[in-house]
Amino acid sequence: MPAEHPTPPQSRPRRTTRITLATLAAVAIATAAAFALTYEPPPPPLPPLEVTWTPAEPTQGHLFLIRVAAPPDSGAISATGEAGGETLRFHATNSTLESFAPVPISSTDSIDAWVRATYPDGRTQTDTLRIPVAAGTYEHERLTVAPRFGSPPNEEDQARLARDREKAAQVARDAHAAPRLWSPAMVMPRPSRVTSEFGTGREFNGQISSRHMGLDLQGLTGDTVVAAADGVVALVDGFLLAGNIVYLNHGGGLVSGYFHLTEQLVEAGDTVTAGTPIGRVGATGRVTGPHLHWVVRYGTTSVDPRSLLALVR
């Protein structure tokens, strides 16, 4: 019987894939279209940051203005920074962003500052500054006051002074948090002569030396005191040294204070404009006689009040 041979398996036909030029072109077009949808060209370079200040050489213990150029084509929408140890609070004015800034009276020949501008796409640009400072001329005077105010404070007075300082510091914090409320229409709170200059060194009863961080204006008990600028009444209180006080929050970091009043004519939360009566001259607190002690601060830094008026006129 003849032997059986297995039948060899039949070979399968090979499949071939033809990639035509049309297919390649379609794939290339689809890839290019997808890339075009996801590709974002790099943003244009930011324009140079232009920062200026006025005056060019501010004086120790004075206020000055820092400006960031923000013309429509610059794209800058906001700015922040620091100068004189205080945060800058910029406000848009025409084609600039501007902020007050203080020169502490203890400054030497210059102060350091920095400014950062922010743009609509989230990019920022920072500039560091060295601002030259002009020396101020401050005199020294000797005063005689009630014995309680001419000796080192006792524990009770120290505690009260600490509370007073904290209340004033809170007014400064609130002013930094508030938008600008003031306008260039500012006035002197009393139409009278200066009886004691800002920055004058003081010796009380031959024992305590300090610096006079406000401007004293002549007045008789009961004379009217008005708000120097638009704002909101931040604090109406009685302080140990300052006597009866009124603090105004002008926003954008700016604060003004009116001390030694015999009467306060406003309440906390009242809105005032420049020229609004807020109190009457008195002789409360540590004083040698009736007068108005007028304080202007940027944050917690006291400055010569007349430097504020000089900037807005």
Both structure tokens of 71: 């013309």
- 293 in Cβ contact with 214 (< 8 Å): yes
End-to-end alpha carbon distance in the chain: 130
**Stretch(es) of the chain classified as CATH 2.70.70.10:** 140-312
pLDDT score, position 255: 98
Structural fold of domain 140-312? Glucose Permease (Domain IIA) (2.70.70)
| pLDDT of 26 | 66
What pLDDT is recorded for position 146? 64
Looking at residue 94, its pLDDT comes to 84
Whether domain 51-132 has CATH 2.60.40: yes
**CB within 8 Å of 1: residues ≥ 6 apart:** none
- What pLDDT does 38 receive? 65
Low-confidence ranges of the chain (pLDDT < 50): 1, 16, 208
Would you state the pLDDT for residue 208? Answer: 44
All CATH 2.60.40 domain ranges of the chain, comma separated, are 51-132
Cα–Cα distances (Å) from 63 to 44, 170, 289, 302, in that order, read 37, 21, 29, 9
